[in-house]
Structure 1
């Protein structure tokens, strides 16, 4: 069975405080986009390993195919909770989403494996049980059980579905040739001790259209990432000078997304970037479109 595992952007990201468990309290707006990995799931081979993972594709360089991969770990957790004795699975992961870019590729892969194994193995543990397992795999993973537009709180794992703004937007992604360490960015980030006046009405009002008021809010991690990674800062500055209506870092980086008045302006901005940066156009996906295109429609439609 084949499924598409879509990337996300953070249209808004606030880092509120450090928690006792070492994580940070966040408020973020997630948005699914139409950049996707492919995941094929098969029953395991007779006499083969319990979980077999093959990784290929243009974005697979340096990606492990063992228990350190989130797709592998998702399959392991699924089988531990809902597998039958002797059951095994094979996973073929075709990577297109850049690694270490703040696009949630690994988290999306994990959620897609959880949902896909429900279909492959005929299980129906329910959304709440899947969310609990997903949260144990990573803070972003639960969002990818929902798709579309969502407000994430806690460490990002508590998801409130938001109405999908319309119409879909075309955005441009710049991915510098550097993998950003999420841990390093969060460790270096200094929380504003008096941010009350910065609480957006934007974050709560992502229910907003009006081609989406240029892209909602801000990203508290942006200054930290740009300072730690000069190559990311250089791309960000170039885009900021290119006439974009909005420029924003996604997550902890390295991906920067921009909104332009038209496609020609976006294409022209790409010509001014360094040739080793990835530059591509994407569109936002509504929850309904995510369900339909991912191959998970029957599983997630009623959740």
Structure 2
């Protein structure tokens, strides 16, 4: 039974099919042209950047920090800046103490010559009230610093990486930096002062001469390194210099540390905080804060090595 409409014969389009074909034929080139225009300009709503052209100009984001516009640069954030590269530089990182020292008390108690006196090979370091050891803290922060500096192209040498039975002794720690002909050495520590004493500080070598100790050539560059560390650490962590050390500038000169006395290359210690103060301890035991501390140390070293 017929309903009054007939399908088109094979190979011969009917009226409706012919109309559709004409419409598609007209639309396809227009759609293709529109897609090509979109692809060359990018989709601002989706965040897709336009493809670069010979006339395009790349504008790098500003790296000036703070409301004052001071040049506080982040070693992670400015890898593309050739002026911040550490290629060809040697940095020795000295994680203070050793997690295994506590199992070798007699070995680390033996005396070694620090040039002007005798001192124990090493110590166990301090710990928070909850038992988080300084030696664990220094290794964690030092490894984070190493990653940041290597990303900038530096060669990084460790005095120990938790891979020794104990130590090394303070005289060997200095010798590792000397033999590496390091451009900078930073010994990472945390303090064990009384509760209520808060903040970080950097220890500089005093001018000493005696036995194998002669710091006359390194006191000036070590001070410059120390100042850069104070600035970088404060910028990265937001912490203030120690409220119980020196005149509040975060710097302390000492003549009783073998790691400094025996160094022939620029070297400083940084005490990142006070493990015996509850507020400082809360930071030192926080992984996110330790990453900020590592960035501050890496920033200070980078600033020093870039002059």
Measured against the shorter chain, the TM-score band is: under 0.3
| TM-score normalised by length of structure 1 | 0.25
Q: Greater helix share, 1 or 2?
A: 2
- Structure of greater Rg: 2
Q: Greater strand share, 1 or 2?
A: 1
Q: Return the structure number with greater relative CO, CA threshold 8 A, min gap 6.
A: 1
| TM-score normalised by length of structure 2 | 0.24
